[in-house]
Structure 1
Amino acid sequence: MSESEEHGKQWKTLDKDLNRISQIELATFHIARPMVGLGVALAFIIVAGLFAALVFGGQPGSAVVIAAAALGAYMAINIGANDVANNMGPAVGANALTMGGAIVIAALCESAGALLAGGDVVSTISKGIIDPSAVANTQVFIWAMMAALLSSALWVNLATWIGAPVSTTHSVVGGVMGAGIAAAGFATVNWGSMGLIALSWVISPLLGGVVAAGFLWFIKARIMYQPDKIAAARRWVPVLIGIMMGTFATYLAIKGLNKIIQIDLLSAVLIGLAVGALSYVASAPLVRRQSEGLENRNKSLKALFGLPLVISAALLSFAHGANDVANAVGPLAAIVHANASGEFAGSVTIPHWVMVIGAFGISFGLILFGPKLIKMVGSQITKLNPMRAYCVALSAAITVIVASWLGLPVSSTHIAVGGVFGVGFFREWYHEKRLDETMRKKKDLRIAAEERRRRKLVRRSHFMTIVAAWVITVPAAALLSAIVFWVLSHLAG
């Protein structure tokens, strides 16, 4: 073997060795990456506890408040990982936003909603789930709220791990119910309220799905299947934008302005009508300018729905921060109030530092663990484009307003995911209808049952997983909470 061949053989051997080392480094990176997220989350939980120690250190019962602050931070992280996906998933699935852009917008809007429009007063016992007078004393009440906080956070964490978007509000409700039963028996639970919540498991996704499917039908009939699609879009897209902005204005007036002034539903609707009309007037020339030069095909329409979809996702996140964060950190606020005053009440003022923990915890949870559920909601249930995703976002806001008007306790998570299912099942129905029409025209055309099943546009496995998680959320959180309460009370005793 010549000297040059010997050198060539050595270089090939070195290349192989370096390639193996690179593969080991890559594998190590993929293994270590989840640990980085866990490390940052743990650091935030510790910082929240230390912050509470600085504020309450040396005061009677400060250890309980410190522990509760750490649990509140843990709960907030889980909200960010699970709940926020419902707002951003459709926009990411429709490619209107990148994953990075969605995370940045959601983190900013969720935090702003919690800090600027979050409720000052929250029902510490989650809409009257248990009777506080039935609880023996303040210490028992504190242990019950601690158990509710920890159990609901654990359940949401488990749901995120298996890839199921669940309602954090329902998790808190289940936690409070389980702790109340463990502390004072079944008689302490307001079963009427629990019945309404159980009803909302059915009402929320059905309403969300029907409204989303209705808007998708409208877009198909009035824009997509018109001879001149661009002219139809110029006529109807500003109307849809006006409906969206008016709806969100009404929603935020109901949920956010109550912090500043007392506002009823009629006034909120009038505000929404005014904002909707102004939005229509402002968007019409913009849509006309944006549509110039577009080809007369459905693909061109996506460009007209991209920006409205991003705006709707941002507004949904702001509204979620204003509404749901307070519910999630409610037990923490109850513990702080009970520890400071020696008594417990049905509703308390949320301290600013508690809302800060909630706002920042959501942001950290979203950044570290949110992409998994965002992908699930946005692309793994059914295929979304900007028009379909826009229908989901619009459905979420409209359904919440209708439910508020009817006095029904609904879940924003169930509504948004129900909207995704509604769009998917409507597309299945529409495709089946067109296929049947084609088969009637071409009598010799036959499609096997197996092929029809393969063409289903909604993944049944995800559908069953999510529905099962919804059904067992309250009982699972309640059972966890009862166990945690029993452990805490025995350790304290």
Structure 2
Amino acid sequence: MDTTLILIAVVVLMAISFDFINGFHDTANAIATSVSTKALTPRMAILLASSMNLLGALAFTGVAKTIGGKIADPFELENGLVIVLAALIAAIAWNLITWYLGIPSSSSHALIGALTGSVLVAAGTSGVNFKGFLTILQALIISPFAAFAIGYIIMNILRFLFKNANPRSVNRGFRYMQIVTAAFQAFSHGTNDAQKSMGIITFALIAGGLHQTMEIPVWVKIVCALAMAAGTSAGGWKIIKTVGSKIIKLQPISGFSSDLTSASVIISATLLGQPVSTTHVISSAIMGVGSAKSVASVKWLTAQRMITAWVITLPVTAIIAALCYSIISIF
């Protein structure tokens, strides 16, 4: 029992660390456009993102239940705590590597890939709920395409509506409106991303025999929400630079369009209980908005680098988690 309690404590601390890192890793995505267009100062953007992330994290639990129960059944797995620990180590390592390199990769892909890899090496293919995994994978794949298409449509509609308006007045108006969409963006980020750590902790509590249902304990919701908000306040300036300026040159109207698009896609996924990559969705929305202006205006080399990171995240984190599980199991 002592060993189990120690493992649970370590897993909870690691999950909180993942949430904190996720906060500063993905905060950039939520506020990059508003900072880039000077709708908000960096300090104000981070304060807004922190508070709205906190509210969003406390608002929903559907995604947490999906992460905690649809990839594998925590009630059936042996060594469930070691499985979760290995997954968290792999996901955190990948997040830190991509953050250091300034690549807006996906924390969601990292965690889902790592958990799947850890379960596979621990319990084989029978341990993975492939139906649930494929449902999650489907949401991860569809959401960026939806964001690209919606961003393209919204930007074209706005360009048509304001084609004869004074550009300076349009920019000033949309700069104010970006404050609202930045808040919506940060809220939606909290509703989806903070849920992932809640699901992992609940998974660990069930595996350790300290919890009997997939209902998320109140203390888990509060701790994960605070960790996400704290991480958000730490910021992620390298990724802000990549998302805010290295995909397209943003103006307030395009920043508004991309924020509205990505926040709408993320909150829709949350309402369906599906984890999506906020990084993928936001970056794809910016690309869609940029393409509406001109395909040539999108810096496709940067986009290609980001897409490469997205594609390799699932298999790489699965392999790292499998290695971590094998090493931890020795002890």
Give your verdict on TM over 0.5.
Answer: yes
Map of 1:9 onto structure 2: none
Letter in 2 for 1:100: R
Residues 120 and 349, structure 1, Cα contact 8 Å, conserved in 2: no
Higher mean C-alpha displacement, 388-397 vs 63-72: 63-72
Question: Which of 397, 409, 418 does residue 284 from structure 2 map onto?
Answer: 418
1:73 corresponds to: 16
What letter is aligned with 2:179? V
Deviation at 1:161, TM superposition (A): 1.6
Question: What residue is the counterpart of 1:130 in the other structure?
Answer: 72
1:368 aligns with 234
What is the CA RMSD across the aligned residues, in angstroms?
2.6
Aligned residues: 331
Q: Report the counterpart of residue 147 of structure 1 in structure 2.
A: 86
Q: Does 1:335 align with 2:204?
A: yes
How big is the shift at 1:458? 1.9
- Over residues 286-330 of structure 1, what are the superposed CA-to-partner deviations in whole Å (9 max), with x where a residue is unaligned? xxxxxxxxxxx2122111112221111112212322332021232
Name the residue aligned to 1:479: 319
Q: Which has the higher contact order (CA 8 A, sep 6+)?
A: 2
Cα distance in 2, alignment partners of residues 79 and 121 from structure 1:
16
TM-score by length of 2: 0.89
Is the 1:113–1:320 contact (alpha carbons within 8 Å) kept by the matching residues of 2?
yes
2:186 corresponds, among 304, 308, 317, to: 317
Deviation at 1:90, TM superposition (A): 1.2
Residue of 86, 110, 117 corresponding to 1:171: 110
Residue number among 379, 388, 404 corresponding to 2:245 in the alignment? 379
Q: What code does the residue aligned with 1:466 have?
A: M
User: Cα 1:74–1:180, aligned 2, differ >3 Å: closer, same or farther?
Assistant: same
For residue 205 of structure 1, what is the amino acid of its counterpart?
A: P
1:410 Cα offset (Å): 3.8
**Structure 2 letter corresponding to 1:111:** L
Contact persistence 1:81–1:373 (CA under 8 A): no
- Equivalent residues of 1:427, 1:457 under 8 A apart: yes
Structure 2 distance, partners of 1:325, 1:173, is 14
Match of 1:350 in 2: 217
Identity over the aligned pairs, expressed in percent?
A: 27
Paired position in structure 1 for 2:305:
465
Q: Select 1:91's aligned residue among 23, 26, 34.
A: 34
The residue number in structure 1 matching 2:56 is 113
TM-score, normalisation: structure 1: 0.62
| Alpha-carbon distance in 2 for matches of 1:219, 1:488 | 54
CA distance in 2, matches of 1:339, 1:409: 24
Q: Whole-Å Cα distance in 2 between the matches of residues 201 and 319 of structure 1?
A: 16
Q: Which has the larger displacement, 97-106 or 311-320?
A: 311-320
How far does residue 340 in structure 1 lie from its aligned partner after superposition? 4.6
Residue 64 of structure 2: SS of its match in structure 1?
Answer: strand
**Residues of 1 paired with 2:223 and 2:125: CA distance?**
33
- Counterpart of 1:178, as a letter, is G
Unaligned runs of 5+ in 2: none
Q: Which string of whole-angstrom CA distances, capped at 9 and with x for unpartnered residues, describes residues 353-373 of structure 1?
A: x33432333233333342221
* 1:208/1:416 contact within 8 Å kept: yes
